[in-house]
Chains A and B, each alone.
Chain A
Amino acid sequence: MDRRRVQGPETSVVPFPLLDDAAPGVVAPPLQAGKRAGGRRPEDMRPIFLRTGLISQASGSAYIEMGRTKVACAVYGPRQIKKQQGFSEQGRLYCEFKFATFACKKRRNHQRDSQEKEFSQVIVQALTPSIRLEKLPKSVVDIYVTVVENDGTASCLAAAITAASTALADAGVEMIDLVAAASLAYQQRRPEGDAPTGENTREAGAADLVLAQMPSLGDVTHLLHRGPVDWAQMSRAVEQCIDVCAKIHAVMVHSLREHSAAEQ
């Protein structure tokens, strides 16, 4: 039992809907004249709002919104590595990814679950190749990510990677390139970029992809694919994501420039 928090009842549930036929899974409506809901083409992402330096206590920070997905990211460090973790000639990255308890349709626990731990790992792996860790011996850079609202889980992860890379740059950590990440979901086997919750349903055969890339160098640093698709669809999806990453990169550069101009 957790004595450090205010306790509710042992178990609580979401009530059933009044009408039995109200199906929980909403299937994406078909394309209308080649456009999705909101007038987006299949490959379009949602508009991005990205702002750096909002968390004044952190060494660097970024806040990103993509549609209703809202992610806050703070970077602290470089800090001295703890003795127990041993000597390391190279610097290390540490990441904690957390959904706020109210961020998803179903309430999340305060403790991090396995999905949040996996996403933390993915963020570290996606960002590590971009950072000059040999410049930071015996140090650790901490990245903390909180999802305030989840509107598409794959898009949350992509937004988190983008925000974390921007926050690292804001903190002045030496990097060889920024890392931009894009996500897409396969709707009836057709890749559609940056899908919100309603479009990306969990029916059998659903598939999604998150791709992180260093746009200036053209190197893919991480690729996470889930679900059954064939190779032709996959390669089309990867190319689509790479195109989107270049656009996201422009947004990242713009917000970093704007912030550093405002500071001077």
Chain B
Amino acid sequence: MTSPYAFSAETFKRVQPSEYYRKFLEQDVRPDGRAFSQFRKTILNAGCISTANGSAVVRIGDTTVVCGIKAEVAEPTLDQPAAGYFVPNVELGPLCSAKFRPGPPGDLAQVVSERLRKLSEEYIAFEELCIEPEQAAWVVYADLVCLNHDGNVLDACQLALLAALKNARLPEAQIGEDGIVRAGEAFTRAITIKRPILAATFGLYEGRSLLADPNASEEPLLDSLVTVCVDDAEHLHAVWKSNGGRCSLEQLQRCVELARIRFTELSALLESSAADQ
């Protein structure tokens, strides 16, 4: 029997998004044609902004993030007189999605910024950013602007941040007897990254299916999101699981395995973009 109502696929998707989605998953495929453990095509372009000390553009599918690094000089803090500053901030403005309104950063932007900052403590060599203990240190501002928010912004931000840091160059600076910091003309000093850490995000759908790299239309349908951050020695650095959905130990283990595979792919991308310059 044919239904008295006929919907186009586009209408069905809008009216019944979860039902639409389930129909695809029953056939072991996602609406955009990807397999469950497949990430979207990732493009990385470093050093494209000449006004910044370092920069990178990352595209994961349609999600686009631009990272620009600017270095300035400030007095170190009293409790860490021989360390510099690293200030990552994510801007999820109204430009990138209809979900965001003008004004100060929303919850998601604050969460992503804070996670990037926490991770950065593991790989930034803060003592190398010091110019003169108790007097002057570099402040490395890393601002990430999302130009198109199609899900999984954290993975894109972490990759863009690392690529921009690899690309960044500081001038040779010294403090004079008059207490004024002067910097050379040539931007020669690279910023040391102790170990690269990259993130991989997965979504759990109805407690059963594990979906890698969820996009913006998938994210609201998922029970929970799991982000796994690993480094080149296959050590775990952070695991974040959001929302209340259940997640078994086997699923978590699978996430870690996939995150390690993803890491090798992305670090090859980082290497080749650094080699291009």
Query: Which chain A residues have a beta carbon within 8 Å of chain B's beta carbons?
Result: 2, 4-19, 22, 54-58, 68, 70, 72-74, 76, 96, 98, 100-105, 107, 110, 142, 144-146, 148-151
Contacts and interface: CB of A to CB of B under 8 A. Distances in A.
Contacts of A22: 185
A148 B66 contact: yes
Given A6-B89, A72-B147, A101 B74 contact: no
A102 B150 contact: no
Contacts of B247: none
For the complex of A and B, the 6 pairs showing the least CB-CB separation, nearest first, are: A102-B68, A12-B72, A12-B74, A144-B95, A15-B183, A8-B87
A54 B66 contact: no
Contact of B49 (A19, A72, A102, A146): A102
B70 A57 contact: no
A46 B77 CA distance: 46
Given A98-B93, A103-B51, A6 B113 contact: yes
B4 interface: no
B72 A13 contact: yes
A180 B95 CA distance: 21
Contact of A8 (B113, B139, B147): B139
Contacts of B96: 55, 57, 74
B95 to A, nearest CB: 4
A9 B97 CA distance: 31
Interface of B: 49-52, 55, 62, 64, 66, 68-70, 72-75, 77, 85, 87-89, 91, 93-98, 102, 104-105, 109-110, 113-114, 117, 139, 141, 143, 145, 147-150, 171, 173, 180-185, 216
B94 A144 contact: yes
Contact of B145 (A4, A8, A76, A100): A100
5 contacts: A8-B85, A13-B73, A55-B95, A56-B150, A96-B94
A105 B51 contact: yes
B27 to A, nearest CB: 24
A68 B50 CA distance: 8
A150 B183 CA distance: 23
A12 B87 CA distance: 12
A9 B182 contact: no
Contacts of A11: 74
Contact of A100 (B105, B110, B143): B143
A100 B98 contact: no
Given A56-B62, A104-B51, A5 B89 contact: yes
B185 to A, nearest CB: 7
Contact of B97 (A57, A107, A150): A57
Contacts of B87: 6-8
B95 A146 contact: yes
Describe A's contact surface by its main secondary structure. loop
Contact of A57 (B88, B89, B150): B150
A102 B55 contact: yes
Contacts of A103: 49, 51, 68
Contacts of A4: 104-105, 109-110
A149 B50 contact: yes
Nearest to A94: B102
Nearest to A22: B185
A108 to B, nearest CB: 9
B148 A54 contact: yes
A10 B76 CA distance: 11
Contacts of B113: 5-6
B274 to A, nearest CB: 19
A176 to B, nearest CB: 26
Nearest to B171: A15
A60 to B, nearest CB: 12
A120 to B, nearest CB: 11
A102 B102 contact: no
Nearest to B116: A6
A55 B173 contact: no
Given A22-B185, A96-B102, A142 B94 contact: yes
A219 B174 CA distance: 56
Given A15-B73, A103-B68, A9 B147 contact: no
Nearest to B97: A57
A9 B105 CA distance: 19
Nearest to B113: A6
A55 B181 CA distance: 42
Contacts of B105: 4-5
A9 B171 contact: no
Contacts of A2: 104
Given A56-B148, A56-B150, A8 B141 contact: yes
Contacts of A57: 62, 96-98, 148-150, 216
Of A8, A54, A57, most buried by chain B (CB within 10 Å of CB) is A57
A149 B51 contact: yes
A144 B93 contact: yes
